[in-house]
Structure 1
Amino acid sequence: MAYEISEIKKIGIGLVGFGILFSFLGIILFFDRGLLALGNIFFLTGVSLLLGWQSMWQLFTKKANIKGSVPFFLGLFLLFVRWPVAGIIMELYGSFVLFSGYGPPIQAFLYQIPIIGWILQYPFQLFGQFRRKRA
């Protein structure tokens, strides 16, 4: 295998996935505070396992990332003081600003997954066969 993932990183990936799932379910189920809080806890724990505690601390406290860190933690605070809609909006903005630099590595990783990579690289081939043929 070309690249081995340690057990800690596998757990981190799982926790990030569960965090996204619980947050999505919390939004779908009319901003359920319990699911949103659980999603945040899973997501932050997973990111800390993936990056490491020191790298995560540097990610949130670096001067260049303050523009994303403040809205993220403000959204987390708003979620815990029973303003879930405003909290999620702030968290999504903060997450987008904080993690936008990780887009190209994630895209390269997804392209290497057998079925998902094919779908992402050739989306029009997949949907082109379902188009109607005009007579």
Structure 2
Amino acid sequence: MISITEWQKIGAGVTGFGIFFILFGTLLYFDSVLLAFGNRHKLKGTSFFLGGVVIVLLRWPLLGMFLEIYGFFSLFKGFFPVAFSFLGNVYNIPFLSELFRRLQGTSSMV
């Protein structure tokens, strides 16, 4: 019989918990009540995005892409200020600021 160390037992337990929570989260993600509750205030953006996908599939790609872009911006308009403020403060993060300083110093036009 194979002997299992204590660290392997802990690792197997943590892996089991991880797999369980991933599967449970996936099941909850596709729950129709939770999807309707989460998208109720974003119905306009969702409908424009999915309508754009349908229009693209019906061979009107330019119009469909414009509808998808409008739907995308409508869905994520609350996230854009957070993303832009993060990008504005990215120089305050120790690892990234050093990386950007190095990349900034090595670029040349010649």
Smaller-chain TM-score bracket: 0.3 to 0.5
TM-score with structure 1 setting the length: 0.39
Larger Rg: 2
